Chain A
């Protein structure tokens, strides 16, 4: 049954329950991709250091309508409600794996130390939907722009998607400049997303861009004729378009 599902990733430039309290549009969109009454959703908050308050907010958001669980890589020795025992067996049988924000460098380091990078790759291949925001978006790509300590730098992600990624594109003006410079200097062409915009990939290709905010944008950024060009992408606003007609691009 699982073999029939295509690999899918929904990468948020920012948004979802961790950034948009009261706006469930992006999270609802991810759940709508699951053909099951109560989707099985597992939260992976590694990039935040498994912050307790973050785990609590996940359960508050999803527990009423999903079968929820979370993975803690910091408290594997203590039964604090996180998945115990065989992480791979648990993750491979989820419908959605939701990766929280934080530091993508810390995230990747901890995942590799626990072999979670391999598990997530298998899950993706089997059609478990991978989603996340910020670090939880960057991690799926070949290369990613991060600006956690000091100036923005490029880090190698898991490489499930053979593109680069830049998040919070509207939030930090210097990131936009840096990303274009990086791509000009040979970083893999890729996708930039504003807070509230989500890139939905089926297999390795972008299928569509959806948004939880009428004005959220996304771009494909690639060199063309010696210049780095930001190609705006069509974005479907998931909310009530009638209420904000002017903003639907």
Chain B
């Protein structure tokens, strides 16, 4: 580990929905994720665990990132043919991006592989953790999931204080379940985010809210006595920069990528 790693703040970017799995033609949130790593050509690792490593998500990830980053994915269901340990794979990244799906499965499977502790360590070392839906709620004290069918509250890893609820606009039946849980004290107060809205945390402090679409917003909710205090947060609308997507890859960067890929094998 280099000295620089110690100097980076822990960062988590939690999306209510969006990114390449939900907005294949809108790279705004995914581009923002890349800017959180303080280096060009960041190493980004995709964890599609919550959906059982489906090919479509993995393909979508590479379509979005392969030309702009050193992109790899980690499957916990299929053998990757490498003898490298999970620690080796995770701790060399600049960014770990977690997909959506079943939060209950996500956490149970991470725990079974002891990946939960590894990701907490990655976070402490300044490796950016990003994700949407289950891949966003997992970092908080808790959230609301459909992992078992009906909506219910679920405990997360607790790296971030408070609770997080996702798809506030896209799945309107979710928000009331979360609000009721905050009101009853079952979940601590926290944030809800629309599809397309993402919250950035430095260490455990929420520092920025951004969005990929006009109208997407976030909500801060706290229980005060028997009352819920709600506060709407207007995000910064991210510009879509097609020039980034279309930018040709310089030869030396391409060579570096190939070298890196070869070294991993």
A residues touching B (Cβ–Cβ < 8 Å)?
Answer: 47-52, 73-77, 84-85, 102-103, 105-106, 108-110, 112-114, 148-151
Contacts and interface: CB of A to CB of B under 8 A. Distances in A.
A110 B76 contact: no
B31 interface: no
Contacts of B113: 105-106, 109, 149
A123 B67 CA distance: 50
B101 interface: yes
Contacts, number: 83
Given A74-B51, A74-B52, A108-B112, A149 B86 contact: yes
Nearest to B114: A105
24 contacts: A47-B77, A48-B77, A49-B52, A49-B78, A73-B105, A74-B101, A76-B147, A77-B147, A77-B149, A85-B149, A102-B78, A103-B77, A106-B76, A106-B112, A108-B112, A109-B109, A109-B111, A109-B112, A113-B104, A113-B108, A114-B104, A149-B80, A150-B83, A151-B83
Contacts of A77: 146-147, 149
Contacts of A50: 52
Contact of B108 (A51, A112, A149): A112
B39 interface: no
A87 to B, nearest CB: 10
Nearest 7 pairs between A and B by C-beta?
A: A49-B52, A109-B112, A113-B108, A77-B146, A49-B77, A109-B108, A109-B109
Contacts of B53: 49, 51
Contacts of B148: 76, 114
By secondary structure, the A interface counts as: loop
Contact of B102 (A76, A103, A106): A76
A48 B83 contact: no
A47 B77 CA distance: 6
B84 interface: yes
Contacts of A109: 105, 108-113
Nearest to A149: B86
A102 B77 contact: yes
A213 B173 CA distance: 54
Contacts of A149: 80, 84-86, 113
A109 B149 CA distance: 18
A21 B164 CA distance: 46
Interface string B54-90: 1000000000000000000000111110011110000
Given A74-B52, A105-B109, A109-B110, 7 more contacts: A49-B77, A49-B78, A84-B149, A105-B112, A106-B112, A109-B111, A113-B107
A189 B251 CA distance: 56
Q: Among the interface residues B54, B107, B108, which one has the most CB atoms of the partner chain A within 10 A?
A: B108
A49 B53 CA distance: 6
Given A49-B51, A150-B83, A150-B85, A74 B76 contact: no
Interface in B41-59: 49-54
A50 B51 CA distance: 9
A70 B207 CA distance: 45
B52 A51 contact: yes
A148 B79 contact: yes
A103 B113 CA distance: 10
Contacts of B147: 76-77
Contacts of B109: 105-106, 109-110
Interface string B14-58: 000000000000000000000000000000000001111110000
Q: Among the interface residues A48, A105, A113, A148, which one has the most CB atoms of the partner chain B within 10 A?
A: A113
Nearest to A148: B79
A48 B52 contact: yes
